[in-house]
């Protein structure tokens, strides 16, 4: 990071000053975070241990869940601690690192959504070529490329945001270190940084969302040509789930990062809560827990667990004594 900065720490003003509201929000966000971890870790473990889920779609989903876990963890624990504490300080380095990892995993998620759209397009439009086109080598390269481009973008975002001179106020009017509230504290001219951030956000979000929309547009005729009503229903369900997650994620990101700096206001925190806190919790339900394959896998795992418990020597010993 270039630039000169005199601030050694920042103060996060958080979501609200009301003690009662903070207590309620702590309980709500703690529950959301627990559900986020349980849902995404559960899907990841299930995709690893159940052979029927060893498919390209669930390979991408495990990485998508990993990104959800990580970027939620970058934000939520600090936010929860600040809701219970009067001391909401964060070091300059800690603020920069928080933003860098948030930008990295959020950008990786954009890239993974595009990869998942391509996977879905091939599966529905060219099912006979699916195994060849989406080979293990191809999907690994797509995931690796997603992480690499996300890392490079996060480095640029971080340098643009924290590379200026911080010689004035140190209060960030937000619950985490984000671009707009941090740039407001920069003493030097930020127009170049804002233009660079805007350009890369356009490339990462508009570019990937266009791939997703084009993919789904091409899928629609193929779905309508399917003879089986069950196949059509399953394909529509998959596309609808994907578009729901995409709309929620991209809609709030467009609102936050593709508007002029002067337009940012009180709704920024609400939009940030949606994409940084709520969306990672909803993704397992949208993508996986409503799918028949996942439901069947959960039933199989439950049966295995019950069988293991029934075979446990301790349990048999208790039954004998009774």
Residue 50 has pLDDT above 60, yes or no: yes
Calculate what percentage of the chain has a pLDDT beyond 70.
85
Local confidence band at 313 (pLDDT 50, 70, 90 cut-offs): low
- Alpha-carbon distance of 286 to 76, in angstroms, equals 21
Residue 191 has pLDDT above 50, yes or no: yes
Tokens matching residue 233 = 């229903």
Residue 195 has pLDDT above 50, yes or no: yes
Q: Between the ranges 30-34, 127-131, 179-183, 235-239, where is the mean pLDDT highest? A: 30-34
Q: Can you give the pLDDT at residue 124?
A: 82
- To which H or E segment does residue 171 belong? strand 171-172
Q: Can you give the pLDDT at residue 112?
A: 92
At 271-297, the pLDDT tens digits run: 889 888 998 998 888 776 556 677 677
Query: In 3-state terms, what secondary structure has residue 172?
Result: strand
Q: What is the mean pLDDT of residues 231-247?
A: 73
Q: What is the mean pLDDT of residues 196-205?
A: 89
Residue 245 has pLDDT above 60, yes or no: yes
Residue 5 has pLDDT above 70, yes or no: no
Q: Can you give the pLDDT at residue 160?
A: 92
- Alpha-carbon distance of 127 to 116, in angstroms, equals 15
Q: Can you give the pLDDT at residue 42?
A: 87
Local confidence band at 90 (pLDDT 50, 70, 90 cut-offs): very high
316 vs 21, more confident: 21
Q: With contact defined as beta carbons under 8 Å apart, do 5 and 93 qualify?
A: no
Q: With contact defined as beta carbons under 8 Å apart, do 5 and 166 qualify?
A: yes
- Alpha-carbon distance of 95 to 89, in angstroms, equals 10
Q: What is the mean pLDDT of residues 88-110?
A: 93
Q: With contact defined as beta carbons under 8 Å apart, do 249 and 279 qualify?
A: yes
Residue 227 has pLDDT above 50, yes or no: yes
List, edge to edge, every strand of the sheet that includes 89-91. 89-91, 9-12, 171-172
Q: What is the mean pLDDT of residues 176-184?
A: 90
Residue 17 has pLDDT above 60, yes or no: yes
Residue 202 has pLDDT above 80, yes or no: yes
DSSP 216-230: HHHHHHHHHT-S-HH
CATH of domain 9-291: 1.20.1070.10
- Alpha-carbon distance of 322 to 320, in angstroms, equals 5
Q: Can you give the pLDDT at residue 41?
A: 92
Instruction: Kindly report the backbone phi and psi dihedral angles of residue 166, in degrees, each rounded to the nearest multiple of 5, phi listed first.
Output: -105, 90
Tokens matching residue 205 = 């979000």
- To which H or E segment does residue 89 belong? strand 89-91
Query: In 3-state terms, what secondary structure has residue 176?
Result: coil
Q: Can you give the pLDDT at residue 262?
A: 62
Q: What is the mean pLDDT of residues 58-71?
A: 92
Residue 320 has pLDDT above 50, yes or no: no
Q: With contact defined as beta carbons under 8 Å apart, do 170 and 180 qualify?
A: no
Residue 216 has pLDDT above 70, yes or no: yes
């Amino acid at each position: 990071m270039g630039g000169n900065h005199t601030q050694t720490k920042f103060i996060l003003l958080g979501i609200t000053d009301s003690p009662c509201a903070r207590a309620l929000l702590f309980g709500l966000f703690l529950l959301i975070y627990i559900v986020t971890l349980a849902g995404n870790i559960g899907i990841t473990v299930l995709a690893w241990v159940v052979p029927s889920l060893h498919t390209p779609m669930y390979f991408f989903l495990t990485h998508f869940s990993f990104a959800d876990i990580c970027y939620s963890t970058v934000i939520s624990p600090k936010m929860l601690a600040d809701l219970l504490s009067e001391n909401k300080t964060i070091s300059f380095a800690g603020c920069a690192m928080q933003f860098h990892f948030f930008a990295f995993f959020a950008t990786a998620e954009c890239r993974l959504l595009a990869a998942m759209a391509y996977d879905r397009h091939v599966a529905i439009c060219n099912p006979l070529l699916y195994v060849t086109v989406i080979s293990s080598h191809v999907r690994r390269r797509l995931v690796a490329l997603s992480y690499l481009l996300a890392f490079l973008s996060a480095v640029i975002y971080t340098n643009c945001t924290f590379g200026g001179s911080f010689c004035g106020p140190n209060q960030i009017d937000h619950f985490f270190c984000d671009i707009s509230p941090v740039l407001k504290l920069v003493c030097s001219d930020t127009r170049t940084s804002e233009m660079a951030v805007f350009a890369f956000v356009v490339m990462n979000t508009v570019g990937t969302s266009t791939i997703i929309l084009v993919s789904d547009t091409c899928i629609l005729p193929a779905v309508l040509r399917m003879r089986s009503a069950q196949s059509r229903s399953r394909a529509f369900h998959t596309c609808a789930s994907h578009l729901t997650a995409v709309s929620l994620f991209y809609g709030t990101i467009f609102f936050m990062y593709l508007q002029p700096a002067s337009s940012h206001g009180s709704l920024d925190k609400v939009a940030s809560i949606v994409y940084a806190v709520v969306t990672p919790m909803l993704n397992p339900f949208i993508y996986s827990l409503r799918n028949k394959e996942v439901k069947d896998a959960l039933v199989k795992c439950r049966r295995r667990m019950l069988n293991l418990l029934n075979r446990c020597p301790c349990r048999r010993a208790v039954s004998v004594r009774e």
